[in-house]
Amino acid sequence: MSKIHVTTTVNGEPAEFLCQPGNSLLDALRDDLNLTGSKEGCSSGDCGACSVIVDGRLVCSCLMLAVEAEGKSITTIEGIANGDVLHPLQRKFLEHAALQCGFCTPGFLVAAKALLDHNPDPTETEARYWLAGNLCRCTGYDKIIRAVLDAAAEMRAGAPAGE
Amino acid sequence: MSSLSYAAPATVDEAIGLLAGASGLAKVLSGGTDLLVQLRSGRTRPALIVDTKKIPGIIGIREVDGGFVIGAATSGAMIGEHAALAAVYPGVVEATNLIGSTQVQGRASLAGNLCNASPAADSVPAMIAAGATAVIAGPKGRRTVPVEQVVTGPGRTSLARDEFIVEFHLPKRAPRSADAYLRFIPRTEMDIAVVGAGVNVTLDAAGVCTAARVSLGAVAPTALLVADCAAALVGSKLDEHALAKLDLAARDACKPIDDKRGTIDFRIKVAGVLARRAAAIAFERAAARS
Amino acid sequence: MTPDISLSQVPAHARHGSSIGRPLTRREGVLKVTGVARYAADNHPAGMLYAVLAASRIARGRVTCLDVPAAMAHPGVVAVMTPANRPALALDPDAKLHPFMFRLDLLQSDAVRYANQPIAVVIAETLEAATEGAALLAPRYEALPARVGLDAGESFVPPVVGVGHPAEQLVGDVEAGLASAARRVDATYETPAQYHNAMEPHAVVAAWDGDSLSLDMPSQGMAMAQARLAGLLGIAPENIMIRSPFLGGGFGSKGLIAGPQVLGILAARLVGRPVKLVLRREQMYGPVGHRPPTRQRLRIGAGADGTLTALAHHALITTSTFDDFFEPAADASHTLYASPAIATSHTAVRIDTGTPMFMRAPGEATGSIALESAIDEAALACRMDPLAFRLKNYAEVEPISGKPFSSKALRACYAQGADRFGWAGRPLAPRQMRDAAGMLVGWGMGTATFPALMFQAEARAVIRRNGGGVVEIGAHDMGQGAWTALAQIAADAVGLGIEQLEFRSGTSDLPDGGIAGGSAHTATAGMAIHAAGGEAVARLAELAMDDARSPLFGAGNAGVVARDGRLFRRDDESRSESYADILTRAGLAQVEGRGKSGGDPAAQTAYAMHAHGAVFAEVKVDPDLGQLRVTRLVGAFAAGRIINPRMVRSQYYGGMIWGMAFALHEEAVTDRRSGRMLNANLADYHIPVNADVPEMEALLVEEHDPHVNALGIKGVGEIAITGTGGAVANAVWHATGMRARRFPIRIDDLV
């Protein structure tokens, strides 16, 4: 079986791996790069547990071929915190109890980060629709929304004037 | 899947050559949000995946001759962010942005939504109503066909195995012309249309409809372009009489199936209601674009 | 003489410095928000192979051919496990030695008993190769017609329902009560099959070392899984190590080990290398349990003043052809409404399905939506407000047993919930309210209840000379917050601040923490911890009180109080000594206590023990399309002592959304011809998404229960799904005038 060599950037660091043509990006992240924070809940793009940001776009890593990662820049849950300093979203998820079993949590955090990158001041409705592709079976949806809006407010308050 | 190969050609001709020369089934990859699901489930077992996204122009939106050219693999997210397109074709943009979740929007394309050939595809009725055409590349060159002629049945298209869509054209807008798309789903989000309705109208200075296109999705094996619905609107200011005719024509056009998402009777009823509501939005938008 | 150190004399939450009752954040939260938390499928031991199930496409018949050579010929495939070569078992997987031993499909024959039943396992070097190998097996079948649905066969009265309850129970004369009633309701409701759909698919990573077995596997009951595996594999339970630090949700489906997990373990034995087996999402619909469909008939009689004269609740349910699980749906009518005559009964039909299993509020949820709908219909028949009708028939003692309640703050739940929701002034008739956009608005309510159960558990507590402590228990955090709540209980049990406490949990080599089910884990595991901590403190107290050098010397009957790493003389708190000083002087590094918990049979005989609640819902309905949105949900729940209000609110919210989904979304649809599920994926099996979720509020109503257990804890994990489904259905009626009698409510039925 011929494997394809892929060179990419993951969480700001260069990364490379060998993959088969049919491998998903999720497979590569979990099995080849040992980044198991992204979860496999459905492999059909319905649950969002595998959400990552690719070149600024939120995608399901189960719906993207690993080989398509060539030359891209990928952010996973492992790249959300700044070293040991949690991202405001991560802190607010803890404070607002916006996680229970935690399996969907990485996907929610990555999706929420993509939301705030894209729109620092989302309305509650915008946040709910943006996150509609992330399923939570513990159904902590309300607390997740509170956490995201609170993190957004904190980040806006903390941003330098003019931003 | 073991014998699967992947190719990312840099030109249209190279892509056509790969498609033509494939030893087994070849699948075109644009956003991949349908293809990867089918690969994973084993519903499709291609020998070759041709990723078109490296082809110049296949991603992006250009304004040409007052209309728009949308690259076949342009993502829903890019379409949603294009202010000029959203101002001129709000119905197309709304419909495209109803495809799946934010994550799916990051990848899903108009070509994929069309060529997956689901009767319930959201962008398709809106594109048909808007009068969009698809530019199809093949070994004999390029041909341009109306979007409503691309899909021939559930899961089937009129494309030959060595053809693929490179771009879509949306025509220049006449004054006082606009579109709208509405769909009905039981859930609030993340669901497949039970019925979809796209309406595109042009009004005269007095607000009377001079041209209309109405398309319905999920009520027949393919999205329908319903001439009787258009006829109900032309010559009217969308009074109750025209709305009633539109509603009736929409219901008459439906040949839906009975399934878990909706019964035949319910789908027919909803088609009439949605056509009315989409027409009202399109008229209002058109009047505002004078 | 045993010194008096009983911590329960002073309620823990009333004591200074107590951890119980504080809204602490989740202990394992940082691991979860950073992606570091390692779930079973995240493990990858050296030399590991991947196993993929092949699952049956037919629902009934047998497998006639598997193309094993084709699969074996595929590059990377190491082995194909079929009935022909599956390693021998010490116990027939169809043996049923006790009612909670459920039969497993472990390739014991070529027979197929339900769609998606495992029929082979392919083991390969890569997941892709195993997947392709499974496809290459291209099974052929001899199919028999599938028996599908509630009318598929002869019904029978099951021997027992739920956890050993009688299938039929009766007090009073129901027929006479109905005959004498001024108002009657006779209504039949249908609920569909539902699937747990935990976000984490069932998984196992299994590694054998001789006759020792190491497992990474999500489990709601490690000790039970260990015992079941020991029986099947013929090895000692202590040779089986289960690590289940994180579960990606369970909801009952991970309470007992599932057949596919055992197959992963057998695959590892077959190939002699570690194996990972993860179910694909579509394989979750069959071999790991579900909530069975029901058809429930409610007959209610009431006097002209609204006083109930009779309540009859019959449930027809399905179960599998090869095992006995009977959803106790009608038992929901035992506890809530006072009636001189109550009859509950069950009949069952065997169909070609996987065996149903405990799914969040098994019986309570299914029964509640029917009962609460019927009570609403009865209130209407009596021209009474639904809340007034419920208060009119408020049960002062448990109706089915006549026992007093150990505690019951339901009146306060009704009052606080109604007040917060703004229930007063609700018009009696339907279709009376519209919003500014012309949407029909409706308000409905339901009563919630769930039994307060206690199982058995053990724990170990250690107090160390360095001022720290350790509490160990093989408890399960499937998201409910057990580790946080139990650590709070543990800190109080050993009289330490939570920062000084090391809490160990989540592996099977720790004392048996019981099962995380029946909403009883916090109470059961908590009481074991409480007892273990109490014993450790007692040891310290003995050391101090017997030692003339201690300020506590001779405290005797006055006893001591443990707090903040010190013992205080109860009658004179100026006299105290630190744990470190006591242990240092005694020349000991630590003292240890062990504790067990279990229900108190005397209290359980004397009292009916339940948590209660009231749920209020607002819906808006598009009058032309029937499109339906729940716009507000308010629940008020009384469940004894609340250990951690932050975690508990999450449990209530989750339960309420499950209740909403029961009314509006969830339904497994089975093809009548093939017996296969038509929506075996998360696109077509609808669970709510963020945009479906309304504005919510969960009120924690104060309740003190001196009888359920010494800590006063009832359960919170399941109650909120009850009541909510009915509240939403009743709100839909109030908005539209259409009474839903089959769930989920079909929009088609509303226009």
**What ipTM does this complex have?**
0.97
The tally of CA atoms less than 13 A away on the side-chain side of residue B235 is: 9
Residue B160 at interface with chain A, using a CB cutoff of 8 Å: no
Separation of CA A45 from chain center: 13
Q: What is the average per-residue pLDDT within B230-239?
A: 97
Contact B281, B179 (CB under 8 A): no
Contact C585, C550 (CB under 8 A): yes
Neighbours of chain A (3+ CB pairs under 8 A): B, C
Instruction: For residue C203, give the H/E element and its range.
Output: strand C203-209
Secondary structure of chain B in HEC code, one letter for each residue: CCCCEEECCCCHHHHHHHHHHCCCCEEEECCCCCHHHHHHHCCCCCCEEEEHHHCCCCCCEEEECCEEEEECCCEHHHHHHCHHHHHHCHHHHHHHCCCCCHHHHCCCEHHHHHHCCCCCCCHHHHHHHCCCEEEEEECCEEEEEEHHHCEEECCEECCCCCCEEEEEEECCCCCCEEEEEEEECCCCCCCCCCEEEEEEEEECCCCCEEEEEEEEECCCCCCEECHHHHHHHCCCCCCHHHHHHHHHHHHHHCCCCCECCECHHHHHHHHHHHHHHHHHHHHHHHHHCC
Which residue segment(s) compose the domain that B97 sits in?
61-170
Q: How far apart are CA B115 and CA B138, in angstroms?
A: 15
Neighbours of chain B (3+ CB pairs under 8 A): A, C
The Cα of B104 is separated from the nearest Cα of chain A by a number of Å equal to 6
Chain C residues in contact with B41 (beta carbon < 8 A): 282
Contact C199 A135 (CB under 8 A): yes
Contact C308, C337 (CB under 8 A): yes
Residue A152 in 3-state DSSP?
helix
Q: How far apart are CA A148 and CA A115, in angstroms?
A: 9
Per-residue confidence at A161, pLDDT binned at 50, 70, 90? Answer: very low
Chain C residues in contact with A31 (beta carbon < 8 A): 44, 127
- The first and second tokens of residue C58, run together, are 């037919």
Q: Does domain C7-33+455-598 have CATH number 1.20.1260.10?
A: no
Contact B4 A51 (CB under 8 A): no
The Cα of C143 is separated from the nearest Cα of chain B by a number of Å equal to 22
- Flag residues of chain C having pLDDT under 50: 1-14
CATH superfamily of A4-79: Beta-grasp domain (3.10.20.30)
Closest among C312, C310, C292 to C301, alpha carbons compared: C310
Chain C residues in contact with A78 (beta carbon < 8 A): 34-35
Q: How far apart are CA B127 and CA B96, in angstroms?
A: 9
Per-residue confidence at B190, pLDDT binned at 50, 70, 90? Answer: low
DSSP C734: H
List all residues 6 or more positions away from C670 whose beta carbon is below 8 Å from its beta carbon: C148, C149, C193, C353, C676, C677, C678
- In degrees rounded to 5, what are phi and psi of residue C662? -60, -45
Q: Which tens digits make up the pLDDT trace of C54-69?
A: 999 999 999 999 999 9
Closest among A41, A52, A29 to C44, alpha carbons compared: A29
| Judgement on whether residues B113 and B212 belong to the same structural domain of the protein | no
Tracing tokens 């080989």 back to the chain, one arrives at A67
Pick the residue from chain A with its C-alpha nearest to C27. A94
Q: What is the average per-residue pLDDT within B53-60?
A: 97
Can you say whether the dihedral through the CA atoms of C382, C384, C390, C393 is positive or negative?
A: negative
Residue C689 at interface with chain B, using a CB cutoff of 8 Å: yes
Q: Of B170, B189, B219, which marks where a domain is finished?
A: B170
Q: Does domain C40-144+202-278 have CATH number 3.40.50.300?
A: no
Out of 3.30.365.10, 3.30.420.40, 3.90.1200.10, 3.90.1570.10, the CATH code matching C169-176+290-453+605-750 is 3.30.365.10
The tally of CA atoms less than 13 A away on the side-chain side of residue C531 is: 18
Pairing of strands C342-351, C169-171: antiparallel
Note the pLDDT of residue C557: 74
Chain B residues in contact with C629 (beta carbon < 8 A): 188
Beta bridge partners of C54: C120
Contact C324, C291 (CB under 8 A): no
Residues of chain A with CATH 1.10.150.120: 88-158
Residues of chain C with CATH 3.30.365.10: 7-33+455-598, 169-176+290-453+605-750
Neighbours of C313 (CB within 10 A): 26
The Cα of B38 is separated from the nearest Cα of chain A by a number of Å equal to 9
Cα dist from C637 to B255, C524, C613, C634, C658, whole Å: 49, 20, 4, 10, 16
Closest among C161, C737, C690 to C429, alpha carbons compared: C737
Neighbours of A53 (CB within 10 A): 22
Q: How far apart are CA C45 and CA C36, in angstroms?
A: 17
Tracing tokens 């009292």 back to the chain, one arrives at C607
| Judgement on whether residues B182 and B113 belong to the same structural domain of the protein | no
Chain A residues in contact with B103 (beta carbon < 8 A): 45, 48, 51, 58-60, 63, 111, 133
Chain C residues in contact with A140 (beta carbon < 8 A): 650, 653-654
- The first and second tokens of residue B26, run together, are 């070849």
Closest among C574, C570, C568, C582 to C463, alpha carbons compared: C582
- Rg of chain B over CA atoms, in angstroms? 19
Fold (CATH) for A88-158: DNA polymerase; domain 1 (1.10.150)
| Judgement on whether residues B120 and B218 belong to the same structural domain of the protein | no
What is the per-residue DSSP string for C610-660?
EEEEEEEEEEEE-TTT--EEEEEEEEEEE-B--S-HHHHHHHHHHHHHHHH
We report the CATH number of the domain holding residue B270 as: 3.30.390.50
Secondary structure of C423-479 in HEC code, one letter for each residue: CCCCCCCCCCEECCCCCEEEEEEEEEEEECCCCCEEEEEEEECCCCEEEECECCCCC
Contact B32 A64 (CB under 8 A): yes
Active site positions of C, annotated: 718
Closest among C647, C614, C490, C512 to C238, alpha carbons compared: C512
Q: What is the average per-residue pLDDT within B24-51?
A: 94
Q: What angle do CA C483, C486, C491 make, to 5 degrees?
A: 115
Q: How far apart are CA C489 and CA C15, in angstroms?
A: 13
Contact A47 C199 (CB under 8 A): yes
| Judgement on whether residues B149 and B235 belong to the same structural domain of the protein | no
Largest CA distance in chain A: 55
- The first and second tokens of residue C445, run together, are 């309510």
What's this model's pTM, rounded to 2 decimal places?
A: 0.96
Contact C240, C508 (CB under 8 A): yes
Instruction: Quote the number of domains for chain B.
Output: 3
Q: How far apart are CA B144 and CA B137, in angstroms?
A: 9
Contact C25 A95 (CB under 8 A): yes
The distance in angstroms from the start CA to the end CA of chain B is: 55
- In degrees rounded to 5, what are phi and psi of residue C675? 75, 10
In the predicted structure, residue A100 carries a pLDDT above the cut 70:
yes
Q: How far apart are CA C3 and CA C544, in angstroms?
A: 11
| Judgement on whether residues B234 and B135 belong to the same structural domain of the protein | no
Best A52, A65, A116, A117 residue to mutate vs chain B (most B CBs within 10 Å): A65
DSSP C499: G
Count how many pairs of residues, chain A against chain C, have C-beta atoms within 8 Å: 172
| Judgement on whether residues B164 and B90 belong to the same structural domain of the protein | yes
Q: How far apart are CA C219 and CA C249, in angstroms?
A: 10
Separation of CA B82 from chain center: 17
We report the CATH number of the domain holding residue B74 as: 3.30.465.10
| Judgement on whether residues B145 and B90 belong to the same structural domain of the protein | yes
Q: Of B142, B170, B198, which marks where a domain is finished?
A: B170
| Judgement on whether residues B76 and B162 belong to the same structural domain of the protein | yes
The distance in angstroms from the start CA to the end CA of chain A is: 51
Note the pLDDT of residue C747: 83
Q: How far apart are CA C649 and CA C622, in angstroms?
A: 31
| Judgement on whether residues B117 and B135 belong to the same structural domain of the protein | yes
Q: How far apart are CA B72 and CA C263, in angstroms?
A: 46
Closest among B31, B39, B53, B54 to B4, alpha carbons compared: B39
In the predicted structure, residue A1 carries a pLDDT above the cut 70:
no
Can you say whether the dihedral through the CA atoms of B97, B102, B104, B105 is positive or negative?
A: positive
Cα dist from C609 to C106, C450, C597, C735, whole Å: 39, 9, 17, 35
Note the pLDDT of residue C16: 59
Pick the residue from chain A with its C-alpha nearest to B101. A133
Chain C residues in contact with A17 (beta carbon < 8 A): none
Pick the residue from chain A with its C-alpha nearest to B103. A59
Secondary structure of C320-385 in HEC code, one letter for each residue: ECCCCCCCCHHHHHHCCECCCCEEEEEEEEEECCCCCCCCCCCCHHHHHHHHHHHHHHHHHHCCCC
Neighbours of chain C (3+ CB pairs under 8 A): A, B
Q: How far apart are CA B116 and CA B35, in angstroms?
A: 8
Best A113, A141, A146 residue to mutate vs chain C (most C CBs within 10 Å): A141
Can you say whether the dihedral through the CA atoms of A49, A50, A52, A58 is positive or negative?
A: negative
- In degrees rounded to 5, what are phi and psi of residue C626? 75, 0
Contact B42 C748 (CB under 8 A): no
